[in-house]
Amino acid sequence: MGSDPDAVIADILAQMDRERPDSARLRLTESFGGTLPRLAGVVGWPLDHSLSPALHNGWLRRYHISGRYLKLPLSPENFKAGIKLLQHLGFRGVNVTIPHKEDAFQIATRLTEIARRCGSANTLVFGDDGEIFGDSTDGTGFCENLRAHGVALHGRALILGAGGAARAICAALMEKGSDVSIANRSVTRAKALSAQLHGLRHVSWDDWPSHLGAVDLLVNTTSLGMQGAADYDWESALSKARDDLSVADIVYVPLETSLLRQARRRGLRTVDGLGMLIEQARVGFRTWFGKDPQADDATRRALLGALG
Ligand code: ATR
């Protein structure tokens, strides 16, 4: 019986410069009782709140795949060396979360078009020849989830926020043919994003609700409404909306944000943040573990369980 592989890999990554890669590999193998399964994981700093291990390990159990998805805590200064070590340890790839998405973009030797447009990568696939393929699946996962909810992707969209998530979602929606505008509290950030994504419009944060009459899809990518964060007067904002507006929030704690609650009360179509998380994860799972996992109710229930 081996020791806990999550604890062993965390220890290996924490003392990378004091242990030889071959001895680290032996230790990791022993933690699995002598045979390494297929390995992937999530790299971030810190990682306490990541739902990805519950999601991927749930799928691995469901499909009886001999694999394991581990938490891979890596500090920013150790990112590059850590990725090399994970390649050496036999990992097939990793998801990348805050604060490493730009570094993941830099370390990739090949990139998808969408990752190039975003300037960041959240999924790395390690090739046998040492190549590192970088993809940005947040935006495409978001669009897949909208499609699953019956939301048309070629209309007019208004995105609130100008952070990394907004960038990925704008790039993906624009690629699908949406006419996209953003509104962000800090004008400088909004302008920087519209300069990066050719064709992206910008409306002022102070009067974004007045644009709702001409919009098919509203997406919140800001932290407004997230547990413990500030909120917004969505009720009066949505009074300007058309009856056929679709409203999506990428926040999933709480699952029904006050934005989604107000939208539901008005009878608007709503899309919560869990579906995007599931859809973006499918891409990596398919590549690393060779199976297209289901984004069904059982998957949602398992994630909700992990969320407590
Ligand atoms: P991510 O990369 O995950 O999208 P981020 O870069 O921290 O996260 O972006 C958070 C977004 O929430 C930003 O657009 C931020 O607006 P600013 O660029 O003006 O900071 C937005 N945000 C956070 N708190 C906000 C608030 N109280 N009111 C309006 N927008 C807020």
pLDDT in tens, 212-252: 999 999 999 999 999 899 999 999 999 999 999 999 999 98
Helix (H, G, I), strand (E, B) or coil at 95: strand
Entry pTM: 0.90
For residue 153, give the H/E element and its range.
none
Under a CB-based contact definition with an 8 Å cutoff, are residues 94 and 85 in contact? Answer: no
pLDDT in tens, 184-194: 999 999 999 99
Whether the pLDDT of residue 196 is over 80: the answer is: yes
159 vs 119, which has greater pLDDT? 159
Is the shortest distance between the CB of 164 and ligand 1 below 6 Å? yes
Q: Which atom of ligand 1 is nearest to the CA of 166?
A: 4
- Please give the pLDDT value at position 2: 59
Helix axes 5-14 and 79-88, enclosed angle (nearest 10): 130
The mean predicted confidence, pLDDT, of the chain is 95
**Sequence letter at residue 210:** S
Instruction: Give Cα separations from 164 to 81, 97, 99, 126 (angstroms).
Output: 24, 11, 10, 23
Tokens 């999933």 belong to residue: 252
**pLDDT over 90 (residue 150):** yes
pLDDT surpassing 60 at residue 199: yes
What tens digit of pLDDT does each residue of 61-75 get?
999 999 999 999 999
Pairing mode of beta strands 91-96, 123-126: antiparallel
Long-range contacts of 186-192 (CB under 8 A, 24+ apart): 186/162, 189/162, 189/163, 190/162, 192/162
Residue 136 has pLDDT above 70, yes or no: yes
> pLDDT tens, 40-54?
999 999 988 889 999
Q: Whose CA is nearest to atom 24 of ligand 1?
A: 223
Instruction: Give yes or no for residue 231 CB within 6 A of ligand 1.
Output: no
For residue 306, what are the contacts with CB-CB under 8 A and spacing of at least 6? 51, 54, 55
Does ligand 1 come within 6 angstroms of the Cβ of 251? Answer: no
Q: How confident is the model over 158-174, as pLDDT tens digits? A: 999 999 899 999 999 99
Local confidence band at 258 (pLDDT 50, 70, 90 cut-offs) = very high
